[in-house]
Amino acid sequence: MKILTVAEMAIREMVRRRAVLALLLALPLAFYLVRRGDQVGQSIRFLLIGLAWAVSTAALFASGTSRPIEPRLRLSGYASHHLYLGRLAAMWLLGLVVAAPFFALVAIDHGDQVRLGAVALAMLFAVTVAAPFGLLIGAIVPRELEGTLLLLVVVGVQMMIDPADALTKVTPFWSSREIGTYAVDHTGDEYLVRGLVHGLIFTILATAVVALLSTLRLRVRMRAATSA
């Protein structure tokens, strides 16, 4: 119940920022269109990165907006896990809503050339990973400007790194890239499997670190009296 209330309010807070919503949609769209004339694979891979970037940025800002209010909520009966799980659920839902029209776009634009189910899965994993990753950056770097720049560095590296480089596997959105390759290049199942495994592990790790940092930050530093 408490997690749902936090999630509901986080969504309400976000959807009332209409300009933010427009930009959330504009970012993946721009990434998709800029390579659309090039080749199908690249445009969809860029779309996935744009989607992940948009969702992680939204999560980063949601984290920053809530940071000054969370202590009060903590003292008003919420445990720290209610707060970060509620916010995470909200960002996942928001991400799926943002992803849905892009899936429709790909289906209409290139539905006959790609594995549509795998495209949906790649989008799902882009959103799944991006939400806790944005919260993680927000938890590590409390100031929004620094957080945004850090996110920019990570996404920049993700976009420019040579796919053959071993370092690519530690980038956060490698999972959706692998699943995306499976979807657009019709590769073998190994791309799909390692994408899924990477995405799950990264999501669990990012969520665990967010949980740890939130619990530490929001711990109540006092002794409760033993009632007579």
Would you say how long the chain is, in residues? 228
Q: Which stretch binds another protein (CB under 8 A): 9-17, 34-42, 164-172, 208-216?
A: 9-17
Nearest to residue 120, comparing CAs of 48, 206, 41?
Answer: 48
Decide if residue 65 touches another protein (CB under 8 A): yes
Question: Alpha-carbon distance 185 to 224, whole Å?
Answer: 60
Residue 56 contacts residue 132 (beta carbons within 8 Å):
no
**Per rule CB under 8 A, is residue 75 in the interface with another protein?**
yes
Round to whole Å and give the CA distance between 221 and 228.
22
Q: CB under 8 A: which stretch of 73-81, 152-160, 167-175, 205-213 binds another protein?
A: 73-81
The single-letter DSSP state of residue 166 is: G
Q: Decide: is 108 part of the binding site for another protein (CB under 8 A).
A: no
Window 15 to 54, contacts with another protein (CB under 8 A):
16-17
Answer whether 156's CB lies under 8 Å from 171's CB: no
Beta strands of 23-115 (E only): which ranges? none
Of 6-14, 25-33, 45-53, 155-163, which segment contacts another protein by CB under 8 A?
A: 6-14
- Tell which positions 111-150 bind another protein, by CB under 8 A: none
Please tell me whether residue 78 binds another protein under the rule CB under 8 A.
yes
The CA distance from 193 to 121, in Å, is 12
Does position 189 interact with another protein (CB under 8 A)? The reply is no
Nearer to another protein, 5 or 39 (CB): 5
Please say which residue, 13 or 144, places its beta carbon nearer to another protein: 13
HSE toward the beta carbon, residue 146, CA cutoff 13 A: 8
Binding region for another protein (CB under 8 A): 1-2, 5-6, 9, 12-13, 16-17, 65-66, 68-69, 71-73, 75-78, 82, 220-225, 227-228
